[in-house]
Structure 1
Amino acid sequence: MNTVMSWEEWAAHDATALAERLQQREVTAAELAAQAAAAVAKVNPALNAVVELFDDAIATPATDGTQLDSGFNGVPFLMKDLGPGVKGRLQEQGSLFMQGNRPAEDGFLTQKIRAAGLNIIGRSATPEFGVCGSAENPAVYVAHNPWNPEYTTFGSSAGACASVAAGVLPLAHATDGGGSIRIPAGSHGLIGLKSTRGVFSIAPALSDITGYVSTQGCVSRSVRDTANFIDRCRGGAPGEFMPYWHSSEPYATLINRDPQPLRIAVSHEWGNYSADPHFVSELERTVTLLQELGHQVEWVTPDIDFETAFAAQTTCYISNFAQFIQRLLEKKGLTAPPEDKVEPINIRIWQKGLNMSYSERWQMQDVFNSVSRKLGEFYQQWDMVLTPTFAKPTPLMGEKRYLTLSDNPDVLSWFYDLWEIFSYTPLASLTGTAGISVPLARQASGLPLGMHFQTRQANDGQLLQLAAQLERAMGGRFMPHSRPQVHVTR
């Protein structure tokens, strides 16, 4: 297939650089879409990261209202197969139960993405309903980590991260309800920001209050791409009943300046959970880098009752997901999820949460409130908290205990297995605060290891400022001297 750029040139461009070339009419949106499709053909047989390409959007990028004279000017983009709907396109959410599902309308964020000039050319792989930490169901698809395909992608933004890391395209849609942007970004060498609650709309299905922990976003290889995505896609839908945060200055401008010297608390022991020893040494190396950049870094852990927080968050996931499944069943006229269509742990979550009492839900909300207040007090003294993005090494493929294919009969036990490895990201989801994974380290396996910075509500811009400062300290690009085993340039 003919391509408009060499693969080395393609991999060197972020979305902002592609948008600039489109604006200068050096390339066309159709040419870029065709090159992205060629990239999928090149790497997807080894990765299974892309579920489907939309041939009409590749051939005619203005399809469905994409604004080719706005923002990203037609840069190709993948939507996660979960989250805001794309009108008339399949959205099967990684599940046999959802095969053939086509949303009747664009979600609000989908409209914003089109208005930002991003050309939605396909959908990326996710575990069933985004619940577990890896997209591994042989009956649907099995996605692989391009750094080493013997390892899991993590999840739930599995295909998005694998695609961007492998050089298919520079920017992709992702979602995060407990770390699903940040965790796979951390194991793929990408920037993954979970924005503050009240930045991206999840309309029309839910609001940021009724959804509680879930938010939208992207994964990218450059800080400026993430900043531009937020600037252009943030904001509430008509009728939203909570305030949406706004920035007095576009993030794309803000990140050109270093942040003021920051007070950063660093920790890896959160309640019963602590990091792998190699991760701790990489954390210490990151501390040294931050100190060299002029930041004050001290080993301090937020005074949070982590055990109570994890219990409340588990209740939230179980009760939210049970109601989600129940709505699907009612639409299909079913009384229970079919065992041959829904993965075992997801059926057990539905069973566990279906009849959860209002009292249990109220107690959960009470913990959400008290933990959020406590963390807010902590951020009166500290600008950020630094941890590794996850606590234990990325597993090899087929580690069933983390999958919704698990035969664990105890749903709570299954969730606590997840928290053992995904220890640090859920706090920002519970409190609605911002967190970012920045590719600063390596695991002993050679896979990337993200470092995770969290901050107070609406301080997303400072996270991006710090990430941009670290990017400049790395010579303008994270992990510049290494590439995944599976990559468009190979």
Structure 2
Amino acid sequence: MGLLGLMRSGAVTADEVEAAARRAIEAVNAELNALTLPLFEPALGHDPRGPLAGVPFLIKDSQPFARGVPFAIGSRAIRGAVASADHELMARFRAAGLVTLGQTTTPEMALSFATESVRYGFTRNPWDLERGVGGSSGGAAALVAAGAVPVAHANDGAGSIRVPAAACGLVGLKPSRGRTPCGPLIGEAAFGHSAEFALTRTVRDAAHLLDAVGGAPPVGEKYAAPPPPRPYADEPRADPGRLRVALTTAAWSGVPVDPQVAAVTVNAGQVLEWIGHTVTEASPAVDPDLLVEAMMLGAIAAGAALLRARRRPDPALLEAVTRRLIAETQAFTALDMMAAVDAQHQVTRPVGLFFEEYDLLVTPTLGHLPARHGALDYDDPDYSMRSWLRRIFEYGPFTAPFNVSGNPAISLPLGHSREGLPIGVQLVAARDREDLLLRVAAQLEQAVPWHDRKPPVHAD
């Protein structure tokens, strides 16, 4: 992060950086609607000796995350809820020295690829204010893309880091299962589908942040990824060697993919061939019906959290899909649960076998350009949970299999449409191979640089 160099050289102070970030956030948020609360005053406590000390930061309203901070998970039905303890990842953000200034928007229960809620309204895309930012980490994506902060907390249960990264022109890394913690209040995030991390503008920043927060799991954590052989910050400068790369622009569900999105993905494959990798048209065998059944595990986990809440929310204040979620959670049987777990295994095994043959998979991140506001209507009463999942997977059909399987995946902003909208390309590697993803992502960042691209709404 360039800010670190400036602060360490004495060119600016941490207080000056914070003040500038506050001005920038407030300036662009007036157009983007990406904050849930007024900025924190003062910033949340952090270690001034941490490796990222002084870097402005934002957290996501997706769960009780930071001690003493109210949360609503995008819902007008959740009022007066305050986190009683830090999430383990929040504790690591503090220890890293990140200066947390505010909280970003998410759709209700974080169950949409559109950051639109009855409570907060539409979060707008800095590239085109008539379009959405993806979801569910959409508020974070909007403010990072607009240059207000260099990095912001995000999490990903079906694509919620990668989808907004693609919609807003950012780097969105979903780590391997177990690479980042999910406790102490959550024992198993969405049956292992959800990963916590962040959105950044550069591959380098993602690598440095992963070093800062992705260490050994806390005692009792169910999932644990093996430690890397060296710091992730070393990987963007490392040679990945000649890789076996598979590429597909065909969605497993058969839904059509926008030709401009497909073209950017094909171009990424051509760049990888030019670099020296072997690129073949291939993809894992993912059954779309089994994928939906497996993803029901994450949805039911969200429904169960609502039903177990100390203050159960008023159904009249919930949006339609959440009300349906509660009803389906209550009707879900042990046999349904076992069928969903079996579907999870039937998705995971072909993905694992695929990476015995290939080092890397390249796909589009989204199947379409960033959606216009209202295209994914979470308050539509006609949806069941399965039909809702199918609907959002029409928009983002490439991300969810790797939540089920636990593979690391990254979205890179490798192109723009004729309309000037960002287009993301997804890279996926074998389990626990974030090192490989970062090496190849850095090669693409050098070959197809995106740093000089700025949206019309930007905090210059």
- Structure 1 residues 86, 344: CA separation in 2 closer, same or farther (over 3 Å shift)? same
- Other-structure match for 1:22: 7
Q: Which amino acid aligns with 1:101?
A: A
Equivalent residue runs for 1:321-340 within 5 Å? 321-328=302-309, 331-332=310-311, 334=312, 337-340=313-316
Task: Report the TM-score, using the length of structure 2 for normalisation.
Answer: 0.95
In structure 1, C-alpha distance between the alignment counterparts of 2:5 and 2:191, rounded to whole Å: 36
Q: Which amino acid aligns with 2:247?
A: V
358-367 or 187-196, larger mean C-alpha shift:
358-367
Query: Does 2:17 match 1:32?
Result: yes
Q: Is 2:190–2:302's contact at 8 Å kept on the other side of the alignment?
A: no
In structure 2, C-alpha distance between the alignment counterparts of 1:304 and 1:140, rounded to whole Å: 35
Query: Does 2:297 match 1:316?
Result: yes
In structure 2, C-alpha distance between the alignment counterparts of 1:208 and 1:411, rounded to whole Å: 21
Query: Does 2:460 match 1:478?
Result: no
Q: Which amino acid aligns with 2:13?
A: T
101-110 or 177-186, larger mean C-alpha shift:
101-110
Query: Does 2:438 match 1:461?
Result: no
Q: CA deviation at 1:100?
A: 2.2
In structure 1, C-alpha distance between the alignment counterparts of 2:274 and 2:154, rounded to whole Å: 33
| Equivalent position to 1:169, from 141, 149, 167 | 149
- Other-structure match for 2:73: 93
Query: What's the CA shift string for 1:7-37, capped at 9, x where partnerless?
Result: xxxxxxxxx2212222233322221111111
Q: CA deviation at 1:395?
A: 1.6
Q: Which amino acid aligns with 2:281?
A: W
- Other-structure match for 2:458: 487
Q: CA deviation at 1:420?
A: 1.0
In structure 1, C-alpha distance between the alignment counterparts of 2:188 and 2:328, rounded to whole Å: 24
Percent of paired sites with the same residue: 30
Q: Is 2:122–2:132's contact at 8 Å kept on the other side of the alignment?
A: no
Q: Which amino acid aligns with 2:2?
A: A
Q: CA deviation at 1:110?
A: 0.6
Q: Is 2:304–2:326's contact at 8 Å kept on the other side of the alignment?
A: yes
Task: Report the TM-score, using the length of structure 1 for normalisation.
Answer: 0.90
Q: Is 2:74–2:119's contact at 8 Å kept on the other side of the alignment?
A: no
Q: Which amino acid aligns with 2:441?
A: A
- Structure 1 residues 419, 353: CA separation in 2 closer, same or farther (over 3 Å shift)? same
- Structure 1 residues 319, 34: CA separation in 2 closer, same or farther (over 3 Å shift)? same
| Equivalent position to 2:101, from 121, 125, 128 | 121
| Equivalent position to 2:35, from 42, 50, 63 | 50
Q: Is 1:319–1:354's contact at 8 Å kept on the other side of the alignment?
A: no
- Other-structure match for 2:133: 153
- Other-structure match for 1:365: 341
Query: Does 2:397 match 1:423?
Result: yes
Q: CA deviation at 1:96?
A: 1.0
Q: Is 2:76–2:318's contact at 8 Å kept on the other side of the alignment?
A: yes
Q: CA deviation at 1:479?
A: 4.8
- Other-structure match for 2:329: 353
Query: Does 2:274 match 1:284?
Result: no
- Other-structure match for 1:436: 410
Q: Secondary structure at 1:73's aligned position in 2?
A: coil
19-28 or 126-135, larger mean C-alpha shift:
19-28
239-248 or 295-304, larger mean C-alpha shift:
239-248
Q: CA deviation at 1:242?
A: 3.5
In structure 1, C-alpha distance between the alignment counterparts of 2:237 and 2:7, rounded to whole Å: 23
Query: Does 2:169 match 1:192?
Result: no
Query: Does 2:365 match 1:389?
Result: yes
Q: CA deviation at 1:446?
A: 1.9
Q: Which amino acid aligns with 2:117?
A: N
Q: Which amino acid aligns with 2:148?
A: V
In structure 2, C-alpha distance between the alignment counterparts of 1:237 and 1:403, rounded to whole Å: 38
| Equivalent position to 1:260, from 214, 235, 241 | 241
Gaps of 5+ in 2: none
Query: What's the CA shift string for 1:113-135, capped at 9, x where partnerless?
Result: 01011111111111112111222
- Structure 1 residues 414, 243: CA separation in 2 closer, same or farther (over 3 Å shift)? closer
Q: Which amino acid aligns with 2:421?
A: L
RMSD value, Cα = 1.7
Q: Secondary structure at 2:191's aligned position in 1?
A: coil
286-295 or 238-247, larger mean C-alpha shift:
238-247
| Equivalent position to 1:413, from 365, 384, 387 | 387
- Structure 1 residues 211, 309: CA separation in 2 closer, same or farther (over 3 Å shift)? closer
- Other-structure match for 1:404: 378
Q: Secondary structure at 2:346's aligned position in 1?
A: helix
Q: Is 1:116–1:233's contact at 8 Å kept on the other side of the alignment?
A: yes
In structure 2, C-alpha distance between the alignment counterparts of 1:359 and 1:213, rounded to whole Å: 20
Q: Is 1:272–1:307's contact at 8 Å kept on the other side of the alignment?
A: no
Q: Is 1:201–1:207's contact at 8 Å kept on the other side of the alignment?
A: no
Q: CA deviation at 1:171?
A: 0.6
Query: What's the CA shift string for 1:182-236, capped at 9, x where partnerless?
Result: 0010111100010000101010122347632111011111111100111110131
Q: Is 1:84–1:109's contact at 8 Å kept on the other side of the alignment?
A: no
Query: What is the number of equivalent residue pairs in this alignment?
Result: 458
Gaps of 5+ in 1: 1-15
Q: Is 1:189–1:479's contact at 8 Å kept on the other side of the alignment?
A: no
Q: Is 2:34–2:124's contact at 8 Å kept on the other side of the alignment?
A: yes
In structure 2, C-alpha distance between the alignment counterparts of 1:458 and 1:416, rounded to whole Å: 28
Q: Secondary structure at 1:238's aligned position in 2?
A: coil
Q: Is 1:197–1:208's contact at 8 Å kept on the other side of the alignment?
A: no
- Other-structure match for 2:47: 67
Query: What's the CA shift string for 1:229-283, capped at 9, x where partnerless?
Result: 1111013122224433210110101211231121111112214234122222222
139-148 or 190-199, larger mean C-alpha shift:
139-148
- Structure 1 residues 369, 55: CA separation in 2 closer, same or farther (over 3 Å shift)? closer
In structure 1, C-alpha distance between the alignment counterparts of 2:109 and 2:286, rounded to whole Å: 30
In structure 2, C-alpha distance between the alignment counterparts of 1:119 and 1:242, rounded to whole Å: 28
- Structure 1 residues 210, 151: CA separation in 2 closer, same or farther (over 3 Å shift)? closer
Q: Which amino acid aligns with 1:379?
A: F
Q: CA deviation at 1:414?
A: 2.1
Q: Is 1:133–1:403's contact at 8 Å kept on the other side of the alignment?
A: no
In structure 1, C-alpha distance between the alignment counterparts of 2:286 and 2:74, rounded to whole Å: 35
